[in-house]
């Protein structure tokens, strides 16, 4: 029921797109989830933050950390619900760093992202937290579209699992049909 409600919200806000897309992972897809369109509405951002927060409370996080840009709003809302500090990582020279915040050494960190496809960004953030002395306790997202094929060391918590097709560029049927590709999102390749 929660998943159906969220899918309805995604479609209503224009966050669920169909076409030919280049994902941040380098893969191609006929579907794209632009969660910024959903999260631009504070009531929806608060809703997903609270629902994720309820699901991850048992991990007892002391801090929420998200990759910029996609995870900032939802991560902040989860942290607000859990009443813990929120931090975000930014890319510098192609790698994530906590540029604005001290590292949460010794703290139990929950990594929160908007959409997980390969888990690459979340894995980078979680690994950085561990490298700098924090404890990566879990990962959560609004939508898990990985189909279980992610790079995370654990199964992420999500509000919705979607099986959306992804293709390696050389195998992409949309490319073979000559359909123009669009690169949405914030992360350049």
pLDDT by residue (tens digit) across 85-97? 999 999 988 889 9
Contact by Cβ (8 Å): 56, 140: yes
Token reading at 75 = 């991560």
pLDDT by residue (tens digit) across 124-164? 999 999 999 999 999 999 999 888 889 899 999 999 999 88
What residues does each domain of the chain span? 2-176
Residue identified by tokens 């094929």 is 149
Confidence of residue 185 (pLDDT cuts 50, 70, 90): low
Token reading at 144 = 């898990």
Mean pLDDT across 45-63? 98
Angle between helices 42-56 and 2-13 (to 10 degrees): 150
Contact by Cβ (8 Å): 113, 70: yes
Q: What is the DSSP letter of 62?
A: S
Interatomic CA distance for residues 187 and 2, integer angstroms: 29
Interatomic CA distance for residues 113 and 128, integer angstroms: 15
Bridge partners, residue 64, by sequence: 86, 110
Q: Kindly list the distances between the CA atom of residue 170 and the CA atoms of 13, 28, 77, 122, 179, in Å, as whole numbers in the listed order.
A: 32, 10, 38, 26, 14
Fold of 2-176: Rossmann fold (3.40.50)
Q: Kindly list the distances between the CA atom of residue 46 and the CA atoms of 64, 95, 115, in Å, as whole numbers in the listed order.
A: 15, 29, 17
Q: Kindly list the distances between the CA atom of residue 122 and the CA atoms of 34, 42, 67, 125, 180, in Å, as whole numbers in the listed order.
A: 17, 24, 7, 5, 29
pLDDT above 90: percentage of residues in the chain: 75
């Amino acid at each position: 029921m929660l998943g159906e409600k969220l899918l309805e919200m995604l479609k209503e806000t224009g966050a669920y797109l169909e076409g030919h897309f280049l994902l941040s992972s380098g893969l191609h897809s006929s579907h794209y989830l632009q969660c910024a369109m959903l999260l631009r509405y504070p009531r929806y951002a608060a809703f997903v933050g609270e629902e994720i927060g309820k699901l991850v409370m048992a991990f007892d996080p002391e801090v929420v950390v998200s990759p910029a840009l996609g995870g900032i709003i939802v991560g902040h809302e989860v942290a607000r619900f859990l009443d813990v500090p929120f931090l975000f990582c930014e890319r510098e020279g192609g790698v994530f760093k906590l540029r604005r915040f001290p590292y949460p050494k010794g703290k139990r960190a929950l990594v929160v992202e908007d959409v997980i496809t390969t888990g690459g960004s979340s894995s980078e953030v979680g690994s950085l937290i561990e490298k700098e002395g924090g404890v990566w306790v879990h990962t959560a997202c609004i939508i898990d579209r990985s189909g279980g094929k992610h790079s995370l060391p654990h199964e992420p918590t999500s509000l919705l699992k979607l099986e959306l097709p992804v293709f390696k560029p050389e195998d992409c049927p949309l490319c073979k049909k000559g359909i123009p590709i669009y690169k949405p999102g914030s992360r350049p390749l």
